[in-house]
Amino acid sequence: MGKNKLRKFAEMETFSNVIQCSATQTPDLTTPHTIAGNWHSDFFHNDNPIVLELGCGRGEYTVGLAQMFPDKNFVGIDIKGARIWAGARQACLDNMANVGFLRTNIEFLTRFFAHDEVSEIWITFPDPQMKKATKRLTSSYFMERYCNIMKDNGIVNLKTDSPFLYQYTLEMLKANSFPCLTNTPDLYHSDYTDPVLSLKTHYERQWLDRGMTIKYLRFMLPKQDTYIEPDVEIEKDTYRSYGRNYHTQNQSLNL
C-alpha cells in the first residue's frame, strides 16, 4: 500500500464525521451497529431527513447536496476509504454539520440504519454489473434492503451513463409498479431542470468528456412483501471506463 493511502487512512481515523466498519475490521456483520436508529440523536443531533449516497466515491454529491440543502442530513457510503477521504476532509474543513460518511459494503446497509430511518437515496454512476443482477444497485436484491431502512414511498434517484443499467432499472420499475417521478434518457439535452442535477461527479465529467449522454430516474419505493426481478434480455453496453480497453460506442445506443 502506498504512503499516500496510508496517510489518508490515518487521517480518516481522526475525522469525527466518518464511521469505518469494513468486513475485515468487523467480521460479525449480522449484529446491528450502535449507530443504527441513532443517526438523528447521536450523529447529526437533529431530526432532519436523512439522505444516502451509495457508492459515493470522492463524495462530490454528498458534500454538494449538503451545501444545497442545509435542512437535510447526508451520508456518503463507500468501501474505498482513500476515495471518501476527500469528501470527508472537505466537510470537516468547512465545518459542515449535516454531512457524514460510512465506510462499509452497501450490502450491509441494514446493519447501520434502522427501519424508516432514511428518507431518500442517491445512486450516482454505479458499476452496471451486467453479468450478475444481485450486484446491481437497482436490483430486487437491493430494493429489499432499501425497503428495510427507508420510509414508505421513499425516493430513489439514479444517475447513470449506462444504457444497460438505465433500461434494466426501467424494467424493474415496470415489474414492481413503482411510481416513476422523473425519467430522462438524455439529462443535459432535455427540458428537465433542477439545480441538484447540476452537480457532477468525477466519473460523470469523464463520461461527458467522451460525449456520452447521462440518464436520470427518480422513483418512489413502496414497502412490499416481495420485489420482482425483471426477466428480460437487455443489450449490453459496448464501452468501458477510462483506463481499460473499450470498443467504439455502438451508434445504435445514440450516445
User: Residue 125 maps to which CATH number?
Assistant: 3.40.50.150
Range of the domain at 127: 3-253
Question: Does residue 78 have an active-site annotation?
Answer: no
For the chain, percent of residues with pLDDT exceeding 70: 90
Three-state secondary-structure class, residue 244: coil
pLDDT digits 0-9 by tens, 94-120:
999 999 999 999 999 999 999 999 999
C-alpha cell of residue 45: 443531533
Question: Do 104 and 33 touch, CB atoms closer than 8 A?
Answer: no
C-alpha cell of residue 178: 413503482
**Pairwise CA distance, residues 165 & 160, whole Å:** 7
pLDDT band at 191 (very low <50, low <70, confident <90, very high): confident
**Pairwise CA distance, residues 206 & 187, whole Å:** 15
End-to-end CA distance of the chain: 38
pLDDT digits 0-9 by tens, 14-41:
899 999 885 445 445 578 999 999 999 9
Catalytic-role residue among 127, 152, 191, 231:
127
Average pLDDT of every residue of the chain:
88
Q: Taking the alpha carbons of 109, 68, 56, 91 in that order, is the dihedral positive or negative?
A: negative
User: Which of the pair, 25 or 250, is modelled with greater confidence?
Assistant: 25
255 pLDDT more than 80: no
pTM above 0.85, yes or no: yes
Question: Do 107 and 55 touch, CB atoms closer than 8 A?
Answer: no
**Pairwise CA distance, residues 34 & 111, whole Å:** 9
Question: Do 134 and 106 touch, CB atoms closer than 8 A?
Answer: no
Label the pairing between strands 118-124 and 99-103: unpaired
Q: What is the number of domains present in the chain?
A: 1
